[in-house]
Amino acid sequence: MTWIDLAPVRVTSKDVLDSIYRGYIAGIRRQSLDSELRFCRQKAVAGNLGQPDFAWLCNVLLTTRSLASVGKGYLMPRGLGALEAYGRVKSYAMRIAQILFVDRLVKHGFHEAVDAGSFASTINEIADKIKDRAIHNRGPIEDDEARFFAVLFVFQLVFDRKFVPDHDIVSCHRGGSGRHRVISDWARAIAYLKYTNTAVVDAPGELRNLCYEITTGWSRGIDIETWNKLNDSYYSGKSMATGKKNVFAAHYDVILERMLPQFAMSKILLAERIIKDLKRLCRPVRVVDIGAGSGAMAINLLMAAHEAGLPAGRIQYLGLEPCRSMINKFKSNFKSKAHCPPPAGWEVRPGSLERAIDALPPSDGRPTWACFSYCLHHCFHKSVELFFTSPEVQSSFSRIYALDVVAEHGWLKPFYTWVDCESPENFDNVAIHGPWRVVDVWNHPSDPIAATAVTNAWCSCRILEP
């Protein structure tokens, strides 16, 4: 890990207990299959997990998944609804990701990044607290497990302090001037990406299979209704594992873009591309942003239009988003990032990929472009296939912009963000395009990080045309 500055960081137990991870600590308790995971947690704190362990973990995850679809056994008691059963599978996937995260960091000597003077006492204090919480939550855990969780949270906090700046890396200028790039600390923040790429290079097949199952394969057998409810629950900010706030979705707009500024940057590049294409067309266009979240793309489009000297009126923006709590944040998010309200008529409405055609206003002759910004891997697999093969979609949209993470980086997320492994996702979706003609716009970054990496790119932008 030579490219990481391992200069020791001091972390107190109070820092950990007050951190954004406090919900996970407050909700900790023994859960089904925890006794089976115990030996892996013990090996992880020593950095000793090997290929047979990865294969074994993959096997138990797949067994749990198969039980979820039939709802039987002590892991999935009869009568458990599909939502809760798959919620358990996903929360189990996240708990395996925690094990991989610790194992990986220990193997890389990450303990050197924690102040040696305070390490032992901090771990002991947090482990005691964790044991108390587990008793309080009626799921007592053993000393060695409490120690595993203490190491997990201390490492996580040090990891964040090393890589996640406490300020925005990419942001909008005040006054809606259209200038939106303020980049500082870029190299430090994208170290997350480098970290994952190292993991890609090193990972043995068993570990890669396990990561694939945690992030993608877990969903085989699930029905659309359960999938969409899991998505709603996730983006409403609730952790299935703890019943407490799920860190990623609850702090989505702030944390994600600081942890992975490539996200923010690639969205700006996409908005600039759309505006450039629109300018060339010389007529107004409707842009339908499917899976709009809280409207990040709307903000970037407005900024890019300002910068290009294009009146906002040339774009009719409509965001479709299934999760109500994301829609509710649209206006405030817009104001705080763009420093102005959304242009008249720009809105995010309840809607989805499945119902995108029904949500379209009657055609007024303007070309209609669809846009997906990091949405496709969140959708139900079959729905994505149906969308891209639907003749109605082909006749309604003259172009589709699709920005998403490159699949390998999706399924390697356990290495750098176990908190997000509860999210219902399927990275096989990003390659689907049906009969559409695909133009690869860019991969970002385009320069190789390691010659042997599976892929050098982290995200990719495609344009699909009929």
Which three-class secondary structure state does DSSP give residue 78?
coil
User: Is residue 296 close enough to count as binding ligand SAM by CB under 6 A?
Assistant: yes
Which three-class secondary structure state does DSSP give residue 166?
coil
Q: Cβ distance 227 to 198 under 8 Å? A: no
The stretch near ligand SAM (CB under 6 A) out of 49-57, 138-146, 287-295, 443-451 is 287-295
User: Is residue 354 close enough to count as binding ligand SAM by CB under 6 A?
Assistant: yes
Q: How far is the CB of 320 from ligand SAM (least distance, A)?
A: 6
Q: What is the 3-state secondary structure (H, E, C) of 232-264?
A: HHHHCCECCCCCCECHHHHCHHHHHHHHCHHHH
User: Is residue 180 close enough to count as binding ligand SAM by CB under 6 A?
Assistant: no
Q: Count residues near ligand SAM (CB under 6 A).
A: 22
Q: Which is nearer to ligand SAM, 157 or 410 (CB)?
A: 410
How many other CB atoms sit within 10 Å of the CB of residue 86? 27
Q: How far is the CB of 296 from ligand SAM (least distance, A)?
A: 4
Alpha carbon distance 330, 335 (integer Å): 9
Q: Cβ distance 209 to 284 under 8 Å? A: no
Q: How far is the CB of 229 from ligand SAM (least distance, A)?
A: 11
Choice from 114, 304, 318, 326 touching ligand SAM (CB under 6 A) = 326
Q: How far is the CB of 292 from ligand SAM (least distance, A)?
A: 5
Which three-class secondary structure state does DSSP give residue 96?
helix
Contact set for ligand SAM, span 377-396 (CB under 6 A): 378-379, 383
Q: Cβ distance 404 to 372 under 8 Å? A: yes
Alpha carbon distance 409, 200 (integer Å): 8
User: Is residue 268 close enough to count as binding ligand SAM by CB under 6 A?
Assistant: no
Q: Which is nearer to ligand SAM, 235 or 401 (CB)?
A: 235
Q: Which is nearer to ligand SAM, 147 or 261 (CB)?
A: 261
Per DSSP, the residues of 271-339 read HHHHHHHHHHHTS-EEEEEET-TTTHHHHHHHHHHHHHT--GGGEEEEEEES-HHHHHTHHHHHHHHHS
How many other CB atoms sit within 10 Å of the CB of residue 250? 18
User: Is residue 375 close enough to count as binding ligand SAM by CB under 6 A?
Assistant: yes
Alpha carbon distance 66, 31 (integer Å): 18
Residue number closest to ligand SAM, CB atom: 293
Name the strand (E) or helix (H) holding 464: strand 459-465
Name the strand (E) or helix (H) holding 398: none
What is the pattern of x (binds ligand SAM, CB under 6 A) and - over residues 23-62?
Answer: ----------------------------------------
The stretch near ligand SAM (CB under 6 A) out of 350-358, 362-370, 391-399, 413-421 is 350-358
User: Is residue 189 close enough to count as binding ligand SAM by CB under 6 A?
Assistant: no
Q: Which is nearer to ligand SAM, 108 or 381 (CB)?
A: 381
The stretch near ligand SAM (CB under 6 A) out of 132-140, 208-216, 284-292, 410-418 is 284-292
Q: Cβ distance 444 to 270 under 8 Å? A: no
Secondary structure letter of residue 427 according to DSSP? G
* CA-to-CA dists, residue 230 to 139, 178, 224, 378, angstroms: 24, 37, 10, 10
User: Is residue 323 close enough to count as binding ligand SAM by CB under 6 A?
Assistant: yes
Choice from 297, 304, 310, 400 touching ligand SAM (CB under 6 A) = 297
Choice from 13, 239, 242, 352 touching ligand SAM (CB under 6 A) = 352
Alpha carbon of residue 104 to chain centroid: 20
Alpha carbon distance 95, 91 (integer Å): 6
Q: Which is nearer to ligand SAM, 213 or 289 (CB)?
A: 289
Q: How far is the CB of 31 from ligand SAM (least distance, A)?
A: 26
Q: Which is nearer to ligand SAM, 23 or 322 (CB)?
A: 322
User: Is residue 264 close enough to count as binding ligand SAM by CB under 6 A?
Assistant: no
Q: Which is nearer to ligand SAM, 105 or 259 (CB)?
A: 259
User: Is residue 246 close enough to count as binding ligand SAM by CB under 6 A?
Assistant: no
Site residues (vs ligand SAM, CB under 6 A): 231, 235, 267, 290-293, 296-297, 321-323, 326, 352-354, 373-375, 378-379, 383
